[in-house]
Every structure is written in C-alpha cells, then in structure tokens.
Amino acid sequence: MATNVLALPRAAEPTGIMSWITTVDHKRIGILYLVTAVIFFIIGGIEALIIRTQLATPSSTLVDPATYNQVFTMHGTTMVFLALMPLNSGFGNYFVPLMIGARDMAFPRLNSLGYWLFLFGGLLLYSSFLIGGGAPDAGWFGYAPLSERAYSPTHGIDFWILSLQLLGISSIIGGLNFIVTILNMRAPGMTLNRLPLFVWGTLVTSLLAIFAIPSISVALFLLLFDRTFATSFYLPGGSGDPLLWQHLFWFFGHPEVYIMIMPSFGIISEVLATNSRKPIFGYAAMAFAFAGISFVSFTVWAHHMFAVGMSPLADAIFAGMSFVVGVPTGIKIFNWLGTIWRGSLRVNTAFLFAAGFIGQFTIGGLGGIMLAVVPVDWQITDTYFVVGHFHYTLFAGTVLALFAGTYYWFPKMTGRFLNEKLGQIHFWLTMVGMTMLFLTMHYVGVLGMPRRIYTYGPNMGWDLWNLIETIGAFIVALGVLFFIVNLFKSMRQKATATNDPWDGQTLEWATSSPPPAYNFASMIPVNSPRPLWDAKYGPHSEFASNPKKIDLSGGGNANVHLPNPSIWPLVLTIGLVIIAIGIIFGFNGGALALDISSMGMAVQSLPIAFAGGIVVFFIGLVGWIAQPAG
C-alpha cells in the first residue's frame, strides 16, 4: 500500500498545539480532561483554604460575608462539576476503550465536543468573577428563592445557570458515548459479566448521568425564566413553590453523588485486585451492587429535604430507601476486604490510597446512615455534621480513589512511575489532614455549628475544633503539593515502565506504555473478567513466577486507519458559549441587545450575541456533518 498516498494510514502521533485542539483520540481527550480538571481541583482547593482560614478563628474578618458566599458556592460547584466529574471522565476516556479492547470511543468527535463544553463551561463560570458583577453566591445547590433575582441581583447566578447547562450537555453526551462504547465495542468474548469493574462503574455512572441531568436542566431553565422573564415558578409570592426547585434539583443531586463515586468504586476494585494478585472477590455481587446502588439512588432524593415538612409517610419511605443503599454499598466494602484477604499484597502508594479509602469511606457511609434517620436529621441538618459527612464520601471516597488511580495508571499513561517516597508522604499527610479536617466537622456539627456561616462568636465552644480543622486543611493541601511536585518530577524522569508493571489483569496492560494511537494491533480471547491474567498464567491460575509475555501493541507502527481530527466540536462549543453569553446579558436589555419590539414580537429585544452564537453553532454543525467521520 505504500505506493498509494491516499491510503497511507496515520498511525504515527501528530504533534503540535493544533493536533491537541483537533484531536479525537480518546487517550488525548482523557489527558485533556485530567489536566484541566486537576487545575480546577487546585482552584477549588484554594477556595477551600480561604474558607478554612476565615473560619480558623472566631469573628474573623479575612473576607466579608458577600465574598464568603461566593467562595463557598464556587468551591462546591467547582469540585462537583469541574473537578470530580471530569476527573472520572478523564480516566474513563483513557481507560474504558483500553479495558474493553477497543480502538477508540464509539463517537470520537462527540467525545471531543464533551471536553470542549467542559472546558468552556468552566471558563464561563469563572468569568463571572470578572464580568458578572460577582460570582454566584447561592450555594452549589442554588436553592430558590435565594437564587432568584430579588435575592441575588448580580449576573453571578445567570452565569451559574448557563455554565451548568453547558456542563450538563457535556456530561450527557459523554454518558451517551460511554454507554454505546461499552455496550457495542467490547472485544470478542467480553460479555457484560466479564467487564472490568472500572468499566462497570463508568457504565452505571453514564446511565445515572443521562437520567439525572435532564432534571436539573429543567430546574435551571425554570430558574432562568424566573430571573429573566418574571415568571414565578419558585416564588411563593406568585403562588410558585420553592420546594419544586428542591425536588427537581435533588432528583438530579442525589444520583449526582453516585455519578461521582461509581467510577471510583471501579478504580478501587482494579487497584486492590491487581495489588493483591488475586481476582476480585465476588465479581458478580460487585457488578450487581453497582446496578443496585444506581437504581436505589433514584428513590432517595427527598432525604435531603426531611426538614422542609413533608408528610411522615414520605419521610418514612425516603428514610427506608436510604437505608437500603447501605446494603449494596456494604457488599462492596466486604468484597474489597475479601479481595485483600490472604492476597500476596504489593503495598505501594496506589494500594495505600485504596486501603485508606475502604476505612475512611466506611465512616462516610455510616454518617449517611445516621442522617437517614429522620429525627437525627432534624437535629443535625444544616450543621457541620452534614458537611463532614459528604466530604467523607466525596473526599474520602472519590478523591482518595482518584489518587489511587493516578498512582496506578500513571505508568500506563506516560511510561513513567510516580515517585513512591513522595507518594507515601502524600498518602500519610492526606490521611492525617483529612481526619483532622472532616472528622472534627462531625463533632462541631453535633455541638451546633451551622453550615454556610461566614463567622461565629468566640463564646460558642467551637474555637479549638475549627482551628484543628483549618490545620488539617493545610496538611491536606501540603499533601497535594507533594503530589503536584511528584507529577512534574516524574515527568522529567526516564520512561522505565514496561507494558505491565503491576502484573495486571485487564487489557490496558497488554499494550505498550503509553499505548500507540490505535491501542491494539491484535486481540487476545476474553474468557473471564481478567483476560490478561489468563493469557499470562493460563485460565483459572494462581499468581506464579515467569508469566508469559503479552504485547498487543504491534510495535507501535501497525497499519491502522484512524478517524480524522476535527475542529468542528470546538466551533460548535464556541457557538454555544456565545449563545449563553447572549442569554445572560441580552434579554435584560443589555448593551448586546437589538430592539425588535416594533416588529410586534413577544420578546422585547433580541440579543445580538444570541443570534451570532446561533450562526456560529450552525456553521459548526454543517461543518461537522459535511466532514467524513472515518
């Protein structure tokens, strides 16, 4: 084929900035997701440190109340939508196709669109500091009527609404892509009950995302109408109902916490099984537990609303369903313990984080069981107990798992190991710091300290505990600093990682580190959830010396056709962002609006930016359709 120029494959990796902007390679998009989300994670962390410094001492004046509201709103929104969700998406993008033996995602350009919407959604949110007259300030849950125009008159909430819509579209199309990829592109023999558990986690998270996010999309649209067109969906004065917001929000918001944790459960399962040199204990039960948790998660949303005065029957049903969540979660905890039990353990940083996860996350789960008891919830809702609880699920859960995943998969992604010594310092600082920080929050919450207060008096008996929390926060931050230093230091070292540095069980370890653009030149048969292990040691085998060497990378220059790079996802995204800005400023008669009231239209003015954004969007759409996908 070498004589036919048109048929030349583009197996080699292109370089340069344009190759990253137009990339449709799932590995590059995964890296873009991860790097962007780590930057947002650091920004969200700095906001957390501002909060903790303000609360370290009573009657502190570091920030004023208005700024404090903006900082805790941005901290929550950033960590949920711009850090944890995209970090999971990043690992999912990079590793799901590798783990199921595919060359890419089912829709490479949609994948790229998902990334750009995430990036620009985040930038739009943060631009509110500069051009919105202030950041959003009604909390990440945006409770109406606090988020209505009368109580939050700046453009902050408008930015929040529109950026969450963009991020929601990003998550839905990412979810659609993962679902189709996982259902449709599995290697021969990889039935659903042989999927690696990380892939199971991503599949379940994607299903949650596509069913949960439309609810918040509607909630945000109605809030936008209230703020822009003087409707009163959530305004009691106009016979609207603030509880409508809470129902629509938490119908999304509760599954959302599982959206953030499911891939993490998967990462923990992979890390523990590999580093215990055993198959995962109770594979089928683990897979069913994923399905069980996700199903039940749609039936518990009103446990966030026990204090609003629902009927006792509703309280009882939602409390009962919330207890049910503990069953599949408990199955997972015991199966992880069973996986480690009598394993031939390799205690590296990834394993330490995964083991730390089991203990710390269990505390988070127990706190959840306490909060599901309605009378207990009435007593401690809106106190720091709740803050401590959900940080024990999201930090001790998701973040510890993401750290474990980073130490585990970094060699595959870069060909380089992370430094073990720095890693273990990072681990211990994180464990000590987070315990001081979040466990103490439970206690100070029971003492009565409410959430979302910018300061407190010196005579409340909370001083010591808040100081301990703040010291803990800075210890965690020091740990993250060690982690960042580790990332840079390791990237400057020689690439010494082999294809399969951890003696792995799943297919991503069967190709080179980092994998070639086409992932695999050939495939091995899949007859169990750990195909690589079968290939190395024989079916149903125990850990042994001298495994067979497996390399499916084809030497990195196999003759494989890859999908074309594309600029159109970025063009589409820019169109949508311009539309969003047009909506934020235009409909209020801002400078960007064109008056067309003389044409007798129902709207008083048509924003120029809105119209321009639609033009850009359609240019992107037509370009996309005209470009051959292959």
Partner 1 sequence: MSAVGKLEHGAHRAGQALETVVDQAHSQELHAATSTGLDHRKLVMWVFIASETIFFAALMATYLVNRGKVTPEDGPEHLNLAVASFNTFILLFSSLTMVMALQAIENAKKRRMIFLLAATALWGLVFLGGQVYEYAELIANGITFDSNVWSSSFFALTGFHGTHVFVGIIWICMLIIRALRGGITENNHLAVELGGLYWHFVDLVWVVLFTIIYLI
Question: Strands 605-607 and 593-595: what pairing?
Answer: antiparallel
Is residue 317 within the footprint of partner 1 (CB under 8 A)? Answer: no
The catalytic residue among 52, 75, 530, 536 is 75
Residue of 332, 416, 426, 442 marked active site? 332
Instruction: Sketch the per residue contact string, 74 through 113, with partner 1: x for CB under 8 A, - otherwise.
Output: ---------------------------xxx--xx------
CB 456 within 8 A of CB 463: no
**Rounded to the nearest 10 degrees, what angle do helices 400-414 and 349-372 cross at?**
150
Query: Does 75 qualify as catalytic in the annotation?
Result: yes
Secondary structure tally for the chain: helices H, strands E: 20, 2
Binding mask 146-175 for partner 1 (x = CB under 8 A): --------------------------x--x
213 near partner 1 (CB under 8 A): yes
What is the Cα–Cα distance from 199 to 97, expressed in whole angstroms? Answer: 9
Q: Are 68 and 54 in contact (CB under 8 A)?
A: yes
Tell me whether residue 304 is one of the annotated catalytic residues.
Answer: yes
Nearest distance from residue 530's CB to partner 1, in Å?
17
Nearer to partner 1, 217 or 362 (CB): 217
Query: Which residue among the candidates 27, 103, 303, 442 is catalytic per the annotation?
Result: 303
Q: Identify whether 409 is a catalytic site residue.
A: no
Structure tokens at 44: 């969200």
Does residue 269 have an active-site annotation? yes
Q: Indicate if 426 belongs to the active site.
A: no
Looking at beta carbons only, is 98 or 374 nearer to partner 1? 98
The DSSP line for 326-360 is HHHHHHHHHHHHHHHTT------HHHHHHHHHHHH
- Any idea which residue has 């500069």 for tokens? 130
By beta-carbon proximity to partner 1, the closer residue of 432 and 560 is: 560
- Binders of partner 1 in range 431-450 (CB under 8 A): none
Q: Which of 127, 139, 143, 214 binds partner 1 (CB under 8 A)?
A: 214
Q: What is the DSSP string of 538-565?
A: -TTPPP-SSPPP---SGGG------PPP
For residues 11 and 166, give the distance between their C-alpha atoms in angstroms, rounded to a whole number. Answer: 33
Whether 256 is a known active-site residue: answer yes
Distance in Å from the first CA to the final CA of the chain: 18
Instruction: Report if residue 558 touches partner 1, rule: CB under 8 A.
Output: yes
Which of 69, 177, 466, 499 touches partner 1 by CB under 8 A? 177
Number of residues near partner 1 (by CB under 8 A):
59
Q: Which stretch binds partner 1 (CB under 8 A): 13-21, 218-226, 259-267, 362-370?
A: 218-226
Q: Is 187 in the site for partner 1 (CB under 8 A)?
A: yes
Site string for partner 1, 362-381 (x = CB under 8 A): --------------------
Structure tokens at 287: 């897979």
Stretch that binds partner 1, among 187-195, 338-346, 464-472, 540-548 (CB under 8 A): 187-195
Half-sphere exposure of 90 (CA within 13 A, CB side): 25
Extract the tokens encoding 251.
């119908």
Helices (H), 230-348: 242-276, 283-296, 312-340
559 binds partner 1 (CB under 8 A): yes
Binding mask 230-249 for partner 1 (x = CB under 8 A): xxxx----xxxx--x--xx-
**Active-site residue, selected from the candidate residues 77, 78, 89, 171:** 171
For partner 1, the binding residue among 42, 49, 179, 446 (CB under 8 A) is: 179
DSSP letters for 601-616: -SSSEEEHHHHHHHHH
Residue from 183, 316, 337, 347 in contact with partner 1 (CB under 8 A): 183
**Tokens linked to 611:** 């119209």
Residue among 254, 412, 426, 442 flagged as catalytic:
254
Decide: is 251 part of the binding site for partner 1 (CB under 8 A).
yes
The verdict on whether 451 is a catalytic residue reads yes
Active site residue 26: no
Going by the DSSP 8-state scheme, the letter that residue 593 receives in this structure is E
Output the CA–CA distances (angstroms, integers) from residue 461 to 434, 443, 452, in the order listed.
Answer: 22, 12, 18
The letter for the amino acid at 342 is R
**Least Å from the CB of residue 229 to partner 1:** 6
Give me the least distance between CB of 425 and partner 1, in Å please.
41
Of 39 and 622, the one with the shorter C-beta distance to partner 1 is: 622
Active-site residue flag, 332: yes
Nearest to 114 by CA among 162, 55, 71, 173: 173
Known catalytic residue at 254: yes
391 flagged as catalytic: no
Give least dist CB 94 to partner 1, A: 18
Q: Is there a catalytic annotation at residue 297?
A: no
- Give the nearest distance from C-beta 186 to partner 1 in angstroms: 5
Query: Looking only at residues 591 through 630 of this chain, which bind partner 1 when binding is defined by CB under 8 A?
Result: 602, 625, 630
- CB pairs under 8 A, 24+ apart, for 486-489? 486/418, 486/419, 486/422, 486/423, 486/426, 487/418, 489/419, 489/422
Residue 314 Cα distances to 245, 293, 302, 581, angstroms? 18, 20, 8, 41
Interaction of residue 217 with partner 1, rule CB under 8 A: yes
Task: Rule CB under 8 A: choose which of 34, 119, 222, 400 binds partner 1.
Answer: 222
Are 215 and 165 contacting, i.e. CB atoms less than 8 angstroms apart?
no
Please state the closest distance from residue 503 (CB atom) to partner 1, in A: 23
Which residues inside 512-541 make contact with partner 1, applying CB under 8 A? Answer: 520-525
Host H or E run for residue 280? none
184, 344, 493, 496: which one binds partner 1 (CB under 8 A)? 184
Tokens coding 616: 């850009």
Peptide bond before residue 514 is cis, with ω within 30 degrees of 0: yes
300 Cα distance to chain centroid: 21
Which residues are within 8 A (CB) of 122 and not within 5 positions of it... i.e. 6 or more apart?
A: 36, 40, 78, 81, 82, 163, 167
**Catalytic position from the list 73, 89, 163, 269:** 269
Which positions are annotated as active-site residues?
75, 104, 140, 170-171, 254, 256, 258, 269, 303-304, 329, 332, 451
Instruction: List contacts with partner 1 (CB under 8 A).
Output: 1, 101-103, 106-107, 172, 175-177, 179-180, 183-190, 210-215, 217-219, 221-222, 225, 229-233, 238-241, 244, 247-248, 251, 520-525, 554, 558-561, 602, 625, 630
